[in-house]
């Protein structure tokens, strides 16, 4: 589906004041939906309203026929492991054209080594997958840990329901460790014992899981766009977001540290995350730029790059190897679209290097989104600096369906072209 292009215009003043309610983390929601399917005594509050979470809900309710999760990458990985370990399930798991280009062979190989019955219906190593669920007795498997943490989390989640538990031997540098730790902490919250030492992760069989309600923290990835807005706004701007906690399980909570270098102060008031513009970027940042390894939080790379461009700050972002296999090749997409605005940048297979910009930004540029929700939302805050247009505006539904409504709340004028 293709959505209309939206034209964005900043408010009459860049002094922002707003309160925004953001729904639950997509990452936590999808993990808990899988755990709830395995252990029905669990209930969940503050679910994400994203398309990805809806795809996951449909998926865990299915056991026969074709299951199409469209663009939902997390659902593809988690459901592959779920279906493979459920006796009696017989499904073909498929997705969008882009999803069928995203590799899944590492996870499928690991599941096959455990005894799962999975075959490819088109191209080897890629969806669609024909899965015949069965009881899994083997309890140890090796896995390349450097491609996607979602492969690891998928196995850990289902490992809690296997009669012999599961031991993962991780090979190579482990990517996106906070997402793995999120999975383990959620398992521990429902009473599943885990152990993570070095390159070995163990999940002990759960047995009976007690009835309990799990509350999903709001999504830090969604909060990133407000960090960008505040960074690009005038000193004195303040936005409150709910509901967040200082001890978040989400790796993207590193936003607090990153944006402090761009003049954004973060405080917590009860369940409110309060973002305030307290200063311009420091002289050190203006002189040397912002350098950050985003191996543990790659989903916020687009937002940070756009913020730095809008502030005229150079940035060097590394640890971005997973961005090549997302909804699009996000590094190439960033290079294409920032260049339209006049930016000078260089990308590699795992990094982005943006030069400081002090020229005149090109106005009325239309930003391509490449069917990627984060491209649309990362570029939207630039409306505070100049008129801009965003193609295929509805792609935001994948993770943040209320995004454009909330942009209007904060004062940005949004209208179809």
Cα separation of the two ends of the chain: 17
**3-state secondary structure at position 328:** coil
pLDDT digits (tens, 9 = 90+) for 22-78: 999 999 999 999 999 999 999 999 999 999 999 999 999 999 999 999 989 999 999
Task: Tell me if 48 sits within 8 A of 23, measured CB to CB.
Answer: yes
Domain 26-215 class in CATH: alpha beta
CA within 13 Å, CB half, 188: 11
For Cα atoms 72, 73, 74, give the angle at the middle one, nearest 5 degrees. 95
pLDDT digits (tens, 9 = 90+) for 204-236: 987 788 899 999 999 999 999 999 999 999 999
322 pLDDT higher than 90: no
Residues 305-327, mean pLDDT to the nearest whole number: 92
326 pLDDT higher than 80: no
Specify the CATH number of the domain 6-24+217-416.
3.65.10.10
pTM for this predicted structure = 0.86
* Boundaries of every domain in the chain: 6-24+217-416, 26-215
Q: Which of 190, 189, 196 is nearest to 167 (CA)?
A: 196
2 secondary structure, DSSP code = -
Number of other residues whose CB lies within 10 A of the CB of residue 225: 29
Please tell me the predicted confidence (pLDDT) of residue 206. 73
Query: Could you confirm whether 392 is annotated as catalytic?
Result: no
Mean pLDDT for the chain? 95
Structure tokens at 360: 């005149």
Place 2 in a pLDDT band, splitting at 50, 70 and 90. Answer: confident
Residue of 109, 219, 252, 299 marked active site: 299
For Cα atoms 156, 162, 163, give the angle at the middle one, nearest 5 degrees. 145
Give the list of residues 6+ apart from residue 94 with CB closer than 8 angstroms, or none: 66, 67, 68, 69, 100, 121, 127, 128, 129
Residues 84-94, mean pLDDT to the nearest whole number: 98
Given this chain, do its domains 6-24+217-416 and 26-215 carry the same CATH topology? yes
Alpha-carbon gap, residue 189 to 193, rounded angstroms: 9
- E strands present in 41-160: 42-45, 64-68, 90-94, 117-120, 129-132, 140-144
Peptide bond into 243 cis (omega under 30): yes
Alpha-carbon gap, residue 50 to 16, rounded angstroms: 26
243 pLDDT higher than 70: yes
């Amino acid at each position: 589906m293709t959505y209309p292009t939206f034209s964005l215009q900043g408010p009459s003043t860049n002094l922002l004041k707003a309160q925004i309610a953001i729904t639950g983390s997509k990452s936590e929601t999808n993990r808990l939906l899988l755990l709830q399917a395995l252990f029905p005594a669990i209930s969940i509050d503050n679910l994400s309203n994203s398309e990805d979470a809806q795809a996951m809900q449909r998926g865990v309710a299915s056991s026969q026929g074709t299951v199409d999760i469209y663009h939902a990458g997390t659902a593809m990985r988690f459901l592959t492991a779920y279906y493979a370990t459920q006796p009696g399930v017989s499904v073909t798991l498929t997705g969008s054209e882009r999803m069928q280009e995203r590799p899944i062979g590492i996870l499928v190989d690991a599941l096959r080594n455990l005894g799962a019955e999975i075959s490819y219906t088109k191209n080897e190593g890629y969806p669609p997958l024909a899965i015949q669920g069965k009881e899994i007795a083997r309890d140890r498997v090796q896995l390349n840990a450097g491609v996607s943490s979602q492969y690891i989390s998928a196995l850990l989640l289902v490992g809690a329901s296997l009669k012999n538990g599961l031991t993962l031997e991780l090979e190579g540098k482990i990517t996106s460790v906070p997402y793995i730790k999120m999975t383990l902490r959620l398992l521990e919250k429902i009473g599943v014992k885990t152990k993570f030492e070095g390159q070995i992760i163990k999940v002990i069989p759960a047995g009976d899981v007690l009835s309990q309600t799990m509350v999903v923290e709001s999504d830090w990835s969604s909060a990133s766009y407000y960090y960008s807005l505040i960074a690009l706004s005038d000193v004195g701007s303040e936005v409150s977001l709910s509901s967040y906690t200082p001890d978040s399980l989400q790796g993207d909570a590193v936003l607090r540290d990153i944006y402090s270098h761009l003049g954004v102060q973060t405080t917590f008031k009860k369940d409110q995350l309060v973002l305030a513009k307290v200063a311009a970027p420091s002289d050190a940042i203006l002189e040397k730029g912002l350098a950050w390894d985003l191996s543990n939080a790659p989903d916020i790379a687009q937002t940070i790059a756009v913020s730095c461009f809008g502030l005229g700050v150079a940035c060097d972002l590394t640890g971005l190897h997973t961005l090549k296999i997302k909804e699009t090749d996000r590094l190439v997409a960033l290079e294409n679209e920032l260049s339209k605005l006049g930016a000078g940048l260089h990308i590699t297979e795992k990094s982005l290097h943006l030069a400081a910009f002090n020229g005149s930004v090109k106005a009325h540029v239309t930003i391509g989104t490449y069917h990627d929700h984060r491209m649309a939302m990362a570029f939207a805050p630039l409306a505070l600096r100049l008129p801009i247009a965003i193609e295929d505006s509805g792609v935001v539904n994948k993770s943040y369906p209320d995004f454009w409504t909330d942009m209007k709340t904060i004062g940005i004028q949004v209208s179809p072209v």
